[in-house]
Chain A
């Protein structure tokens, strides 16, 4: 399969400018600088490349939304990769940081921007060091900074490390965090392209999206658009993990059957086991089952199948896995990561988590599944940002698709709890020898 981003990604020293340049690195930047900014933007638009961070919004459109004029504009690279199951940007940044920097500079040029920030999640310390070193190298070589390659173009690039908050992957939460505040998402509109970082128009793109930019410039937008499907152009990195034999990142052409990724590339679940359910696009995506393995892996087909491509992270669970356990992890994660700003998300994620805990501890009835489904419905569409929906959609899908199993779990948990309670009953007359603590809830 064709490799664009992952082409010889393991080449030793690729993270250094020397090797990157030897392989033709920064030629796209040189080429872009010979073009007008509008032409560069046109190439990006023509490529049809959609955002690789989760929302799948056309990058060319984002660039075109930026107002023209002399105001201070910003480019922010979203490297806060924290959607569970996603780890593609980590590998890109660690192994080919200059590709990202080149993409950042070209995109900034296309948008008439001279200040760029790369917001990397705080946990990625190794990647942050590598990027920091690469920025310094690129700066010394004149690819970043004032008057790039003796042109009139200047782009500064600053690496900003986060400190551990999923919500900062949400673009406006990221902006607040980058401004030094709590990472609370903002109301939209105004969209960042109009009013973003420091109130200036801001172009925000994911690492992988920006990494495609040099390739789009090199091969031409039209050529790039030939890869993949009509509406999902190009290649995509897929992070696959969970119950598969070869977890990791794979670069695929959009539109290939999902089965080919899960079984063909990742080797499928371990010998003798089969796929029970899978998240096609990170933990925020509604789960799919073995019945959906033949759905083509692209933005539109996934949406049609009732889920989403998201960040391109597949988590596979085989038949050993309990839906309840996974649902509990999902709910706990979103309850923990909810920023607390808006009511339905703050209270809904917390409530859902508590309900699932109650199921696990044997204190629930099947009626609670109705309440849970209804609570998810009450969250969806009513929140300030997508975090609430990101929990409600997968939990809702699990309740819908695995209701009999969940009802059985409820039953089994109740029996376990009853048995445990009976064990604690102290027979009359032996109380003195058995002076254990009373069971407390």
Chain B
């Protein structure tokens, strides 16, 4: 839908002529004229102003009463005074009232030095109070959650935190309780405020009432330095500021006050905000290690590199996997190493699902790429086979914003109920593993002449077709090739490429999945989707080949396939069979612990230099915020040195050299410089150099894939169709961050009330899920939104991960029944 137009106008503030956009709030317009109006409750990120703090009262000519400038839209010719006696009297009054119950314990307050209340009291208060009655007293600080401490004495009830919970995250866990002067910020019945975005309230708090448990008392603002960076813990790639003290990251904040509108809108998830602790955790790998006598031992770089240089002996028989945290440069150098030096084309970065290169290239056509801000202004938004809250958390907030503020019509099509279901206009649910059929039916429904009510998914088709031209589809890389082909046909049919506000936003499996793909870290395409004379094998085939002995060495660049990829057993066998396993890692996850021969300590995103690509095509720059801890060395340097020892000189002396090589190799990046990327990055699909990839969608042969017949979803014996998902907290960084321990996911089996009843399972029961002889334990979680016949398990987690199960159907039993049931099973068991 069209974005609001901005009409420039002029007004007078304190005698100065100020230019502003019509309808913007006076307090913002005043900033344009270098006039500062104090405020506490106003925060445009939180939506409409509430006018609660009354700090921003100003005098407007023609209006008898003082007005709150946070809620007064400017008009042409308005005359405003912010320095009159009346205004000053009101400001003094509000400061005095605010301090009536504020403890003024600044010397022991964590906010001291960066506290708006301190600043405003100093700037706009009288510096005295006439209040001699006893103040409100509370116990303090109290835990609001393991991450947030609350000091209710300091709270000025500005509404920011509760508005965030209620109107931005929409989790509605944080509330005001009671009324009047007795009001306080609370949760229901002593439950902690635990939600994926809860940490934002710390940053919003204009006083020291909400403080970060891990940051409390670690530093004073004047001890700190700030460094801009990009979080690479998930594909959202939020722009962050690292607060650095003594070369350690002690805090992570959203980068700009208003955030990068095109990336994160100024919010962070708790993983991005608090998992920085993994950088300085004892568990982090900070020196090279080599397996020696069956055990990994710290060694010198020289020895580790020499050991890894043994890869040269496996020429042609090396397979490589690249995890999402790798930068474009690292991926690029590694694919050179693999292809040029080791003659091994078997390299893959697609950990979630494999879309063949021509299709991937077609889906990446620049005109099909939606911007993040398009989520907010689309007519219709389809969330396809993913749950943004788990897969790319920050866009969950963006989608909610679009639905809430702009009336975006949201459709959710997924097997598992998503966090966005509540705001959805249409929800299409299909059985796990039947996405291809679903898309096929949707495709037919779109072109069908029959009324929507008669067709499967007719309502969704109608919404996509008739709901307005700006349709944005958010989809996950894990949907696989057949589904992706159908998706492309739907996209063509809907003409998403013809509308600037329409398009696709793919959530890759890894944080930099898109950048790695563009850098050529896929088996069937070189940098910039270049066609390869000699394509290699993808991840699944690499595992098979390694297990079968066809590949004898594996290179794991910030990836542990035992943790990250499907078919755990096969990968274990592959790693076990490989003679040499070289890995870059910062956490010793189970696959590496058991099987790695050489481990190089990997950089964190606060230490890395390089570039990554946001799912919407934005190249973003990683900068060095802190020195490398311990023996950690830059990934590009390690790879280059390794190549040298294997006999190749890549001519890379600095990270920037690697970037230049990437730019030279990837056509659509042509001419880009690091300076041009700057702080907010550059979206290559918007550059003229992207032309060669344009129209790639329509070049695909039509009717490539016909919808396959509907699969059997539930076997007669009552087995359940298994769907998997990766929880937001499933990350090794979370596991070693002390304050995130309570979030480390354990296995839960989500099933429908009907199946639970049939199987005699109650919520919270211990259950076992089994297929093909593999069993794993889980706690039952009965969810009304789960369709009967489906069950869901988490993968990417440390224990009982669903990647151990390989079959589409599982048997579920309550633990305790197993003993008797096992006996019954015997005769039929294979």
Contacts and interface: CB of A to CB of B under 8 A. Distances in A.
A165 interface: yes
B52 A341 contact: yes
Interface stretch (A113-121, A122-130, A381-389): A381-389
B90 A382 contact: yes
Contact of B50 (A187, A338, A350, A378): A187
Given A347-B100, A347-B101, A340 B94 contact: no
A340 B180 contact: yes
A35 to B, nearest CB: 37
A382 B57 contact: yes
Interface residues of A, number: 30
Interface string B100-113: 11000000000000
Nearest to A337: B180
Contacts of A337: 179-180
B363 to A, nearest CB: 39
Nearest to B98: A343
Interface stretch (A102-110, A256-264, A300-308, A351-359): A351-359
Interface string A169-190: 0000000000000100001000
28 contacts: A338-B180, A341-B50, A341-B159, A342-B52, A342-B53, A343-B54, A343-B98, A344-B94, A344-B97, A346-B97, A346-B180, A347-B98, A347-B101, A348-B97, A349-B180, A349-B181, A350-B100, A351-B131, A351-B133, A354-B133, A358-B133, A374-B130, A378-B90, A381-B65, A382-B57, A382-B66, A382-B93, A384-B51
B71 to A, nearest CB: 5
Nearest to A182: B176
B180 A336 contact: yes
Interface string B150-186: 0000001101000000000000000010111111000
A335 interface: yes
B572 to A, nearest CB: 54
Contact of A340 (B49, B130, B182): B182
A339 interface: yes
A379 B57 CA distance: 13
A343 B50 contact: no
A355 B180 CA distance: 17
Given A165-B179, A335-B180, A382-B66, A187 B51 contact: yes
B560 interface: no
B54 A384 contact: yes
B577 interface: no
B181 A350 contact: yes
Given A343-B94, A378-B93, A338 B52 contact: no
Contact of B179 (A339, A347, A355): A339
A384 B56 CA distance: 12
Interface in B542-590: none
A89 to B, nearest CB: 24
Given A187-B51, A358-B133, A344 B93 contact: yes
B161 to A, nearest CB: 15
B486 interface: no
Interface in B82-99: 89-90, 93-94, 96-98
A182 B159 CA distance: 13
Chain B contact residues: helix, strand, loop or mixed: loop
A371 interface: yes
B187 to A, nearest CB: 16
Given A182-B176, A338-B180, A343 B51 contact: no
Contacts of A348: 97
Contacts of A341: 50, 52, 157, 159
B68 interface: yes
A344 B95 CA distance: 9
A338 B180 CA distance: 5
Q: Which of A335, A339, A343, A351 has the most CB of B within 10 A?
A: A343
Chain A contact residues: helix, strand, loop or mixed: helix
B100 A187 contact: no
B157 A351 contact: no
A380 B68 CA distance: 14
B497 to A, nearest CB: 35
A349 B50 CA distance: 20
Interface string B54-70: 11010000000110100
Nearest to A346: B181
Given A342-B52, A346-B157, A349-B180, 13 more contacts: A182-B179, A187-B49, A338-B181, A340-B178, A343-B98, A344-B54, A346-B181, A346-B183, A351-B131, A378-B97, A382-B66, A384-B51, A384-B54
Nearest to B72: A189
Interface of B: 49-55, 57, 65-66, 68, 71, 89-90, 93-94, 96-98, 100-101, 130-131, 133, 156-157, 159, 176, 178-183
A390 to B, nearest CB: 14
Nearest to B40: A343
A335 B181 contact: yes
Given A165-B179, A349-B180, A378-B97, A343 B52 contact: yes
Contacts of A340: 157, 176, 178-183
A350 B93 contact: no
A262 B157 CA distance: 44
Nearest to A374: B130
Contacts of A335: 180-181
A398 B159 CA distance: 34
Contacts of A349: 180-181
A336 B133 CA distance: 17
B66 A343 contact: no
Which 3 interchain pairs have the tightest Cβ spacing?
Answer: A378-B93, A340-B183, A350-B181
A343 to B, nearest CB: 5
Nearest to B178: A340
Contacts of A182: 176, 179
A187 B96 contact: no
A342 B98 CA distance: 10
Q: Which of B89, B159, B182 has the most CB of A within 10 A?
A: B182
Contacts of B159: 341
Nearest to B49: A187
A83 B53 CA distance: 25
B133 A355 contact: yes
Nearest to A338: B180
A14 B641 CA distance: 98
Contact of B96 (A338, A378, A383, A384): A378
A278 to B, nearest CB: 27
A382 B52 contact: no
Interface in A45-104: none
Contacts of A346: 97, 157, 180-181, 183
Nearest to A165: B179
Contacts of B71: 187
Contacts of B98: 343, 347
A80 B52 CA distance: 24
A226 to B, nearest CB: 32
A412 B51 CA distance: 42
Nearest to A181: B166
Contacts of A344: 54, 93-94, 97
Contacts of B179: 165, 182, 337-340
Contacts of A343: 52-55, 94, 97-98, 156-157
A226 B291 CA distance: 103
A342 B65 CA distance: 16
Nearest to B73: A189
A368 B157 CA distance: 27
A298 B216 CA distance: 61
A354 B96 CA distance: 16
B54 A383 contact: yes
A329 to B, nearest CB: 16
Nearest to B183: A340
A383 B66 CA distance: 10
B483 to A, nearest CB: 39
Contacts of B54: 342-344, 382-384
A337 B181 CA distance: 10
Contacts of A339: 179-180
A328 to B, nearest CB: 14
